Amino acid sequence: MRLDKPTHLTLEATMRRKAAFLAGISATLACALAQVQMTPYLEQEPNDSLSAPQVIDASVNRARGFVVWDAMLLPVGERDCYRFQVAQAGTYSIRVDTNLDTTLRLYDASGALIAENDNDGNSDTRLNRLASGVTVNLEAGTYIAEVAYYFNLGRARYALRVFPGTVAPDQDPTEPNDTPERSIYLGRLSGGEIITQEYRFLSYGGGDIDV
């Protein structure tokens, strides 16, 4: 004689299995994001042509990206180029952080244009829809990212980030600084500063707060 389990017990067991499965996926994604390291660089001039770009020596892969700090389009009409290596095929995001109107182009090693963007490309800068960025599937190889001002009409300070996937890792050298007790002292400001040269903050992708 077979005794069937009550329906509500079967549903509860199914829900528990689904919850455990989703929790496992969330933990896996969290670990993946936590493992992404962003190698920092400062802009090095001259880097204003595809034939003479700034070379990023740390290759990009599924666990590592890079960020170029304190970059500037100056004088008017300048463009900045960065050559980097992708070590593993996959999906990568390239984003320009700025409060001005930039353009972004991505070329392969031969100089062929792969992707480009003017507006609405950087989902991390919601207050500025003019910031540029692309998300593309790349094979292992050499690429060049070019940052310029829209129609070469202006000057801009910016940061360039290249990282695996679509969710930006939140990582900066001042962490942990997410509570008043852990706040970072910036020194005496004279007025007009956006941020000091000594401190560079990232607050992307995870609801992070920098204090």
Residue whose structure tokens are 């706040």: 183
Average pLDDT over residues 114-120: 90
Secondary structure element (H or E) that encloses residue 96, with its range: strand 90-97
Answer positive or negative: Cα dihedral of 37, 25, 123, 166.
positive
- Which is higher by pLDDT, 8 or 110? 110
- β-bridge pairing 79-86 and 54-55: parallel
Q: Is the peptide bond before 173 cis (omega within 30 degrees of 0)?
A: no
- Which is higher by pLDDT, 135 or 98? 135
The CATH code belonging to domain 37-169 is 2.60.120.380
Beta bridge partners of 120: none
Q: Where are the domains of the chain?
A: 1-35, 37-169, 170-211
DSSP letter assigned to residue 180? G
Between CA 172 and CA 194 the distance in angstroms is: 17
Question: pLDDT per residue over 119-161, tens digit each?
Answer: 877 777 666 677 889 999 999 999 999 999 987 777 788 889 9
Q: Tell me, what's the pLDDT at 118?
A: 87
Average pLDDT of the chain, as a whole number? 76
Backbone angles phi, psi at 30, to 5 degrees: -65, -40
Average pLDDT over residues 14-24: 55
Which tokens belong to 143? 């690429």
Half-sphere exposure of 52 (CA within 13 A, CB side): 7
Answer positive or negative: Cα dihedral of 134, 37, 160, 61.
negative
Question: pLDDT per residue over 160-183, tens digit each?
Answer: 999 999 988 765 555 566 677 777
Between CA 161 and CA 35 the distance in angstroms is: 16
Between CA 36 and CA 171 the distance in angstroms is: 9
Question: pLDDT per residue over 31-73, tens digit each?
Answer: 444 568 888 899 999 999 999 999 999 999 999 999 998 888 8
Tell me which residue of 91, 39, 37 sits closest to 66, measured CA to CA: 39
pLDDT of 10 higher than 80: no
